[in-house]
Amino acid sequence: MKVLITGASGFLGSALLRRITRDSRYMTVAALRRESSNLPDGVEIVRIDDLGVDTDWRDALESIQIVVHTAARVHVMKDSSHNPLAEYRKINVEGTLNLARQAALAKVKRFIFISTIKVNGEATLPGELFTADDPPHPTDAYGISKWETEVGLRQLAVDSDMEYVFIRPPLVYGPGVKANFLSMMRWINRGIPLPLGAIDNKRSLVALDNLVDLIMTCIEHPAAANQTFLAGDGEDLSTTELLRRMGNALDKPARLIPFPVGVLTLIVSLLGKKDVIQRLCGSLQVDISKARELLGWQAPVTVEDGLRMAAVDFVNSSRSKSGNL
């Protein structure tokens, strides 16, 4: 079976590429925007300069049975563009649907789209979990663009023989992780005291290897056709517990101050950072039972192991950078 992976040099795409090339059943085509020296042997490379509405995918789609679309304009914390939704739509909606239409014409069997939990919404009430079949409620430009793409892909499946699979992950962590998760590891590694020792929320995460494993299951499983799945580790953590376990993985115990959440919320809100306090103190839980029941999928990596792999990579990367100074 021949599989096309877009965004093959990215955080998720590169991990998926490493995994899939270990399976002799697959021939893999990697779509890249720039050269990469870290690709596994035996991968066919196709250069794609832009994920746009006019991009020609015909060479990349030749003889392809499965497309795994990980490329996207990712969530930007401080988006300075004049119209963020328009910018997300150019790539995440118009660019993706352009690829999908060409894939359908090329007789691709299945199009696996890596969406986001933001399609469901930004937060859950304590004890209430998002499910794969909940009505969508995206609130930011990134989530809206992913939802609009799902709508377009569903319609394309009606109009063609190509199947879709949507996977909506929450925060993904693992070797090479960036953004907020990387910042938290840096804080703990430096021994910085954090006023986050009394947060009693629940948030779902997904280890990179668990997300890759779910994608691999969806590549061929017949029951995955035209379905939406939520990804997760199967164990939800409070922000406080996550930081403690992260400290254990780094062998640098987290220095957490049990600061009252109400006071913390007020201070951060006064600083105009309500979105930050939601991520730190709010709950966001996902129900992954659909993947378990329909696909027989179980997350192979525990939270401890996932954090350990992220920590080892972080430490090794920090040492490498120090050695190059």
- The SS3 of residue 69 is strand
Q: Does the residue 219 lie in any domain?
A: no
- Same domain for 148 and 253, yes or no, is no
The pLDDT of residue 171 is: 97
pTM above 0.75, yes or no: yes
- Same domain for 148 and 27, yes or no, is yes
What is 257-283 written as a DSSP string? ----HHHHHHHHHHTT-HHHHHHHHS-
What tokens were used for 33? 């925007």
Distance between CA atoms of 216 and 224, rounded to whole angstroms?
A: 11
- Same domain for 110 and 77, yes or no, is yes
- Same domain for 149 and 201, yes or no, is no
Q: Does the residue 10 lie in any domain?
A: yes
Q: Does the residue 217 lie in any domain?
A: no
The pLDDT of residue 166 is: 98
Per-residue model confidence as pLDDT tens digits over 11-32:
999 999 999 999 999 999 999 8
- Same domain for 248 and 113, yes or no, is no
- Same domain for 268 and 153, yes or no, is no
Is 284 within 8 Å of 129 (Cβ atoms)?
A: no
Per-residue model confidence as pLDDT tens digits over 158-170:
999 999 999 999 9
Question: Of 168, 191, 225, which residue is a domain's last?
Answer: 168
Question: Of 110, 143, 168, which residue is a domain's last?
Answer: 168
Question: Of 144, 168, 192, which residue is a domain's last?
Answer: 168
- Same domain for 298 and 260, yes or no, is yes
- Same domain for 180 and 159, yes or no, is no
- The SS3 of residue 44 is strand
The pLDDT of residue 325 is: 47
- Same domain for 115 and 253, yes or no, is no
Is 25 within 8 Å of 11 (Cβ atoms)?
A: no
- Structurally, the chain folds into a number of domains equal to 2
Q: Does the residue 222 lie in any domain?
A: no
Tell me which residue range forms the domain holding 10.
Answer: 2-168
Q: Which residues are catalytic?
A: 142
Q: Does the residue 82 lie in any domain?
A: yes
Which amino acid would we find at residue 122?
E
Q: Within the chain, which residues score under 50 in pLDDT? A: 325
- Same domain for 181 and 116, yes or no, is no
Give residues with Cβ within 8 angstroms of 211, minimum separation 6. 12, 167, 169, 172, 231
In the chain, the percentage of residues whose pLDDT exceeds 70 is 96
Per-residue model confidence as pLDDT tens digits over 135-150:
999 999 999 999 999 9
- Same domain for 133 and 199, yes or no, is no
Output the domain CATH number for residue 254: 3.90.25.10
Output the domain CATH number for residue 89: 3.40.50.720
Exposure letters 255-272 (e unless 16+ CB within 10 A, then b): ebeebebeebbeebeeee
